[in-house]
Amino acid sequence: MALVGRCFLLFYVVELALNVAYRQGKFFCGDPHTVCWNWMDAVIVACGVADIFVVKKASAPSGLRALRLLRLARVLKIVKIFLTSELSWAEGHHFQTFMMAVIGVNTVVMGLESENRHNPLWPYLENILLVIYLFELLVRIKFQGCAFFIGGTRVPSSELIWNWLDSVIVCGGIVDNWIMPSITSAKRLMGVRGHSNGSFGEMMSVIRMARLARILRLIKIVKSVPPLYTLVIGIVRAMQGMGWVMLLTVGVLYICALLGVKLVGEGMLVPADLSEEDQTAVMGTFDNIPNSIFRLFKAMNADLGGFQPLLEHVGASKYVLMVYMVVTNWALFSILTAVVSDNMAKATEELEGEIAEDGVEEAKREREAKMAVLFKRIDTNRDDELTLDEFKGILADEASCQEICSITGLPPADLEDVFDLLATRKDGEEECSIKQIDFIQLLDIECGSVTARSIMKVEHRLMRLEVAFREAIDGPSPHPP
């Protein structure tokens, strides 16, 4: 361990020397927010060197040994990097794919752990996975803020349940894997005997049971695969249309069970020449309504084990059960399959339409955000208006022209038409300009599909222009539209 510590110290010394050589005088003098971290690094490295060459000597004061505790201050650098970093990648595809893989591995580990409980490798894997989950939770909370728990523009309401579930699972894992073992070790070191508290023990049992909810994380894997997610949602929505078929099935089972209890269970159709033991066995096939419904349900699925006494002693019962199975097994199942298939096709079509609309809205939001960033970058005077010279400067610059064309999906000629349509000239100014909001809105119309509503908006705008033109020539109209 001493060799490993010296290797780390050598790395820190080299890092400090390179930083000092690169920044020179600005390393110790400059922005206080940066310089304070530089001074902390210098002090920590100096304390590390003193710990090896001074504190290790027998003649060194014992108080200097406390200097090695300053090495723990490097944890603050990790906190600083975490607080100042841009964490939008937490919502990216690559990070989400990595977390889905971790969830899959965790599920496999839980299965293997249930088969081999005494493997010493499991605690280490559990702690590694818990660290990953804790890191993911902290990153998402840092990026989303309070919206992680209460919802907002970045967090849809459907994600709140998963956010709270993740928080409970991670907190339960921290208590079970880190806090409780630490308390137990501290008690053992202090010589305190552990006394099991009934209510606390029950609470820990509930926490351990809640950790089984990690299996529900697999649903996120299903959601991350669009075809599989569409199939699952289609099945769920199709199941909602099964209510009337299920009601019909329950009604058929109840009527058949009631007839069986009245005719067979009460001995009305039981042959009189049978022995008393055989009559009791035959009548027992329809002893009461609940048991009869269950046996008929099993017969509906081709399990006739509950009707063996009836089939052996009453020959006509074979044909009655044949008719019953044709009606229930063939007809009802066919109806059920048809209903589920039809509802699933409709649900899948509706879901695909919703996904397409969500994709269009998401693309629109991304386009508006990119256009807003681009507009602010090229708006040199920061008046939220784009002049003709500024617009021509965009089209003249090859990189900016390619960027705006890729964002809007329009060639430069169409962009010039958009500018000419919206450009206005203020009183006393010779140069035309266009407002940011008008430019983005017209681009949304230009990039979107033509609908009846958009045509009506154009007609209404033309009517208003016509009225304004007539008012400018003939005077105000008494009844403007």
Q: Which whole number is the average pLDDT over 133-137?
A: 89
32, 67, 84: which is the final residue of a domain?
84
Cα 416-420-423 angle, rounded to 5 deg: 125
Pair 218, 256 in one domain: no
Q: Which whole number is the average pLDDT over 39-58?
A: 70
Pair 186, 301 in one domain: no
Model pLDDT for residues 168-193, shown as the tens digit of each residue = 878 878 887 888 788 878 778 777 66
84, 115, 132: which is the final residue of a domain?
84
* Number of domains the chain is built from: 4
Instruction: Determine, yes or no, domain membership for 359.
Output: no
Pair 135, 37 in one domain: no
> Taking a C-beta distance cutoff of 8 angstroms, is the pair 425, 431 a contact?
yes
Instruction: Determine, yes or no, domain membership for 366.
Output: no
Q: How far apart, in whole angstroms, are the C-alpha atoms of residue 191 and residue 315? A: 80
352, 368, 399: which is the final residue of a domain?
352
> Taking a C-beta distance cutoff of 8 angstroms, is the pair 248, 332 a contact?
yes
The letter for the amino acid at 37 is W
Instruction: Determine, yes or no, domain membership for 442.
Output: yes
Pair 210, 313 in one domain: no
Q: Which pLDDT value is given to residue 434? A: 72
**For 101-105, 136-140, 203-207, 392-396, which range has the lowest pLDDT when averaged over its residues?**
203-207
Q: Which pLDDT value is given to residue 286? A: 92
Residue 171, SS3?
helix
The domain in which residue 315 lies consists of 230-352
Nearest one of 264, 263, 244, 242 to 252, comparing CA atoms: 244
pLDDT beyond 60 at 435? yes
Instruction: Determine, yes or no, domain membership for 453.
Output: yes
Nearest one of 353, 351, 397, 357 to 374, comparing CA atoms: 397
Q: Which whole number is the average pLDDT over 134-148?
A: 86
The letter for the amino acid at 262 is K
Nearest one of 11, 76, 68 to 19, comparing CA atoms: 11
Instruction: Determine, yes or no, domain membership for 374.
Output: no
The letter for the amino acid at 382 is R
Pair 318, 269 in one domain: yes
Pair 333, 251 in one domain: yes
Pair 331, 397 in one domain: no
Pair 122, 208 in one domain: yes
Q: Which pLDDT value is given to residue 351? A: 75
pLDDT beyond 70 at 50? yes
Report, in this order, helix, strand and coil percent for the chain, each rounded to 5: 80, 0, 20
> Taking a C-beta distance cutoff of 8 angstroms, is the pair 67, 50 a contact?
yes
Q: Which pLDDT value is given to residue 477? A: 52
Pair 220, 262 in one domain: no
| Percent share of the chain, pLDDT over 90 | 7
Pair 74, 124 in one domain: no
Interacting residues of 180 by C-beta distance below 8 A, sequence separation 6+: 204
Pair 257, 219 in one domain: no
Pair 342, 284 in one domain: yes
**For 22-36, 97-111, 221-235, 425-439, which range has the lowest pLDDT when averaged over its residues?**
425-439
**For 18-32, 49-63, 291-305, which range has the lowest pLDDT when averaged over its residues?**
49-63
Q: How far apart, in whole angstroms, are the C-alpha atoms of residue 329 and residue 303? A: 11
CA 378 from chain centre, in angstroms, equals: 36
> Taking a C-beta distance cutoff of 8 angstroms, is the pair 374, 404 a contact?
yes
Instruction: Give me the chain's average pLDDT, please.
Output: 76
Instruction: Determine, yes or no, domain membership for 376.
Output: no
